[in-house]
Structure 1
Amino acid sequence: MSDPVKTAPRRALIVVDVQNDYDGGNLAIKHPPFRDSVVNVAQAMDAAAAAGVKVVVIKQLAPETSPVFAKGSHGAELHPEIARRSRDHYVEKTMPSAFTGTDLEDWLRANAIDTITVVGYMTHNCDLSTIIHAVHMGFAVEFLSDATGSLPYANSAGYASAEEIHRVVTIILQSRFAAVLKTGEWIECLKTGVLPERDTIYTSNQRALARSAA
Structure 2
Amino acid sequence: MNPMALIIIDMQQGIQDLAQRQRNNPSALSRIGALLATWREANAPVAHVRHISRDDDSVFAPGQPGCVFHPAVAPRRDEAVFEKNVTDAFLHTGLERWLRVRGIQRLVIVGVATENSVESTARTASNLGFDTLVVEDACFTYAKADHAGRLRTAEEVHDMALANLAQEFARVVDTDMLLGEARV
Q: Fold match, TM over 0.5?
A: yes
Match of 2:28 in 1: 37
| Aligned CA distance change for structure 1 residues 29 and 10 (closer, same or farther; 3 Å) | farther
> Secondary structure in 2 aligned to 1:99?
coil
Q: Per the alignment, in what secondary structure is the counterpart of residue 46 of structure 1?
A: helix
Cα distance in 2 between the residues matched to 1:86 and 1:183: 25
Give a deviation string over 1:154-186, Cα, whole Å, max 9, x none: 265322221101012112322321111111221
Matches of residues 6-155 of structure 1 in structure 2 within 5 Å? 8-23=1-16, 25-26=17-18, 30-33=23-26, 36-63=27-54, 65-83=56-74, 85=76, 87-154=78-145
CA shift at 1:14, angstroms? 0.3
Tell me how far 1:44 sits from its aligned partner.
0.6
**How far apart, CA to CA, are the structure 2 residues paired with 1:144 and 1:85?**
22
Would you identify which runs of 4 or more consecutive aligned residues in structure 1 move more than 3 Å? 26-29, 84-87
Distance 1:9 1:125 in 2: 28
The TM-score with structure 2 as length reference comes to 0.90
Task: Give the CA deviation at 1:51.
Answer: 2.4
**Residue type at the aligned position of 2:157:** I
Match of residue 190 from structure 1: 182
Q: Which residue of the partner structure matches residue 203 of structure 1?
A: none
Aligned to 2:168: 176
Residue 48 of structure 1: how far off its partner (Å): 1.1
For 2:160 and 2:41, locate their aligned partners in 1 and report how far apart those are by CA, in whole Å.
Answer: 32
Alignment gaps of 5+ in structure 2:
none
Identity %: 28
Closer, same or farther in 2 for the Cα pair 1:113/1:84, shift >3 Å? closer
SS in 1 for 2:166: helix
CA distance in 2, matches of 1:99, 1:49: 23
- Closer, same or farther: CA 138–156 of 1 in aligned 2, 3 Å: closer
- Highest relative contact order (Cα 8 Å, sep 6+), 1 or 2? 2
Q: Displacement of 1:126 after TM fit?
A: 0.3
Residues in 2 aligned to 1:173 and 1:162: alpha-carbon distance in whole angstroms: 17
Structure 1 counterpart SS, 2:67 = coil
Superposition CA RMSD, Å: 2.0
Taking structure 1 as the reference length, the TM-score comes to: 0.78
Q: Does 1:161 align with 2:153?
A: yes
Unpaired segments ≥5 residues, structure 1 = 1-7, 194-214
Distance 1:29 1:103, change over 3 A: farther
The whole-number CA distance in structure 1 between the counterparts of 2:92 and 2:75 is 26
